[in-house]
Amino acid sequence: MNTSLFDLSGKVAVVSGAAQGMGRAMATALAEHGADLLLVDLNGPGVERTAAALSEMGRRAIFEARDVSKPEQVRAIFHRLDSEFGRIDFLGNVAGESIMARPEDISLEDVEQVWRNLVLGRFCACQEAGRRMLAGSGGSIVNIGSLASITALGRGHIAYSMAMGAVAQMTRELSTEWARGGVRVNAILPAQVVNPGLEKRMAEKPALRDQWLSGIPAGRLGMPDDIRGLAVFLASDSSKWITGALIPMDGGNLAMNAGGSVR
Ligand SMILES: NC(=O)c1ccc[n+]([C@@H]2O[C@H](COP(=O)([O-])OP(=O)(O)OC[C@H]3O[C@@H](n4cnc5c(N)ncnc54)[C@H](O)[C@@H]3O)[C@@H](O)[C@H]2O)c1
């Protein structure tokens, strides 16, 4: 039995975006510290692979191939949670994509879809998890935000930035409302973390890598595994007096106010 400050044994976590990237890294780190998991992703085969890997570690890991931008699908995830585990201690809201376009060009349909992906989906999952945590023994929620939660990025990020700004305020409001009920709500704000989308953009425009690196004092782009420590810390009792925090995971980007670039 792991008796450390970071022990998660006996806890149940729901993590979205768990087929790859930061969602998979978060889920794996939680499992390594003892949590059982319900994993969610649009990518059925991918999330099934993550669940199989965590099961091999001796954890109970089940999955749902669902779209978190659709409230009825989010609710179905929590019905499965109720029947399989009957409790929730941690929610990691990681999944959700953006659509990039200049403010003068973007359609309102695309703005609305990004809002569904990143705001409505995260809020619906927070609401479902929060209701259960408030009625149970509390819990911890982590919303993935972005540098764009608190600084402008330019370069066609208008819909993303508006949505991620809302994620920051969602986190602060929920932490304020639910702290007395033992439910903590925090956000992680990553800078550029390598994923297939970023790799494609760097392949199309090689100067982007240097542009991003010029804003990262630590001298490298993020990797999905950079989220592991924060995820375990925020899920565990070692962070029990931390709520409403927007925590940069950015190699120092926000400290030097380097998020934006008009090019
Ligand atoms: N990578 C970065 O540089 C970066 C920086 C700041 C914030 N973020 C945010 O962090 C989150 C995860 O980023 P990542 O780099 O791990 O992404 P990724 O592209 O590596 O993985 C995202 C996963 O989410 C799944 N997904 C996407 N939309 C979904 C939906 N509607 N329902 C269910 N699953 C869905 C995908 O299938 C994929 O498996 C995203 O919300 C992203 O906007 C990323």
The confidence score (pLDDT) of residue 262 equals 53
**Residue 263 pLDDT more than 80?**
no
Q: What is the CATH number of the domain that holds 179?
A: 3.40.50.720
Residue 246 has pLDDT above 60, yes or no: yes
Number of domains into which the chain is organized: 1
Q: What per-residue confidence (pLDDT) applies to 223? A: 98
Q: Is residue 150 part of a domain?
A: yes
**pLDDT range class, residue 113, cuts 50, 70, 90:** very high
pLDDT digits (tens, 9 = 90+) for 72-81: 999 999 999 9
* Domain contains 200: no
Segment 38-58, tens digit of pLDDT:
999 999 999 999 999 999 999
pTM of the model: 0.97
Packing angle between helix 121-135 and helix 71-84, nearest 10 degrees? 30
Range of the domain at 53: 12-193+223-247
Look at strands 246-249 and 183-190 and give their pairing: parallel
Dump pLDDT digits (tens) for 221-235.
999 999 999 999 999
182 falls within a domain: yes
Q: Which residues are catalytic?
A: 160
Binding-site residues, ligand 1, Cβ < 6 A? 16-17, 19-23, 41-43, 46, 67-69, 94-98, 117, 144, 146, 190, 192-193, 195, 197-198, 224
Q: Quick one: which atom of ligand 1 is closest to the CA of 18?
A: 39
Is 226 buried (19+), middle (13-18) or exposed (0-12) by CB count in 10 A? Answer: buried
Position 211 in a domain: no
